[in-house]
Amino acid sequence: MHVVHPPKLSDAAAADHSPELLRTYQTWKGSNIFFLGGRFIFGPDVGSVFLSMFLIVAPVAVFCAFVARKLIDDFSHNLGVLILVVAIVFTCYVIILLLMTSGRDPGIIPRNAHPPQPETTDQGIEVGPGQTPQLRLPRVKEVVVNGMTVKVKYCDTCMLYRPPRCSHCSICDNCVERFDHHCPWVGQCIGRRNYRFFFMFVSSATLLCIYVFSFCWVYAIRIMHSENTSIWRALIKTPASIVLIIYTFLAVWFVGGLTIFHLYLISTNQSTYENFRYRYDRSENPYNRGIFGNFMEVFWTSIPPSKNNFRALVPREPKPPTRVSGGSFVNSDIQKVPSDVEMGSMKPIRKNEATGGDDGGAGGGRRASLGRSGSWDLQSEIASITGIGYSDRFSRGGSSGSLGGSVEVPVK
């Protein structure tokens, strides 16, 4: 007797049934831009990093070519060479700090795939016989930090309760630990994992401006003494020094002002966001450890590892269609403009994200309520897409005058 065995699937056919694996950075839902296979993460405005590099390197190149090179002959014992070398090395150091600030994870908190389990019933919704009561998530929770009560908010975009001092950046579209601000000059959020490098970058840029400014004056004064003329006539003989003196004078007000401001923030253990939004008194700031303790926290504590492995392999997320009560399907990529804007300008949420406002849609925004089954009630949006009129919705949705469970929009 012959037994016919079923044909074996080839490797190619078996591979078709296996889920497609991608790197985490390839499925990233934020607005970040990745380089070198997810090894470096930047904000969406990464182009400003190259502008910042040019604003640093260009004046130093002019200084080395027209000022420091002339000082080599004016100073003995290789002091002029040292001036040139220090300028080049210091510039490289500032550029490295810029890249360490802009090219690393600032402290992004991974998004949840599903919202947490609702806890309270929405009393504003009438429940008919045989229907499940609508549950909602509390917008704010209270936690205790150093004996003081701190309120934490729910983020509709990331579907999580933000830890204390965490905020959602509307530019990068991520929740960031100890969010300070989004810096357009470095093209990145400033948070828990890169604030130290940001301050070192700003303060080092201030010292570099002072260095170039000072030696431009030194060169002009040496011309004045060697030719026995006035300082203004000496400056005319070195136009590069005039340009650099004006440039560094203006720049030092900007980066120097930032350095002084952040020295104040570090000494009081505040972030830029907290300083602009809240008004802490000494007795009210639950994070203040004293000046010495605050500086220790910023500069002498280990930087925590990233919560994201951008190179990890993850399966591609499916995009199921949304079924409407007539058998038709609509696209679930419904975009909204959230009120959950912490820093930066408002912008639409990316596709494939069902989001709501930070205050539950207050201020005229559309409200998306979360039910027990995890589906969002987007009645007006579905009706506008499918062209169903108000009277049709009554006839199709039942006597309650709503879609009444005939619309399912999956939340990812």
Q: What is the pLDDT of residues 173-190, one digit of tens each?
A: 999 999 999 999 999 999
Active site residue: 183, 189, 209, 216, which one? 183
Question: What's the total number of domains in the chain?
Answer: 1
In a domain, 86, yes or no: yes
The DSSP line for 102-160 is HSS---BPPPPSSPPPP-EE-TTS---TTPPPPEE--SEEEEEETTEEEEEEEETTTTE
Q: Can you list the positions of beta strands (E) in 156-272?
A: 160-161, 167-169, 174-176, 181-183, 188-190
In a domain, 32, yes or no: yes
* Four-CA torsion 161, 348, 124, 374, nearest 10 degrees: -60
In a domain, 101, yes or no: yes
Please count the other Cβ atoms lying within 10 Å of the Cβ belonging to residue 176. 30
Mean pLDDT of 359-376: 38
Predicted TM-score (pTM) of this structure: 0.71
pLDDT number for residue 256: 97
Sign, CA dihedral 97-343-116-151, equals positive
369-412 pLDDT, tens per residue?
A: 333 333 334 344 434 433 433 334 333 343 333 333 433 334 33
In a domain, 287, yes or no: yes
In a domain, 260, yes or no: yes
Band (78; pLDDT cuts 50, 70, 90): confident
Which of 141-145, 214-218, 395-399 is least confident?
395-399
In a domain, 225, yes or no: yes
Q: Is 183 a catalytic residue?
A: yes
In a domain, 165, yes or no: no
pLDDT number for residue 253: 96
In a domain, 286, yes or no: yes
Structural domain harbouring 40: 21-109+184-299
**313 - beta bridge partners?**
23
Name the one residue in this structure whose structure tokens are 């004293």.
290
Name the token pair of 9: 């699937």
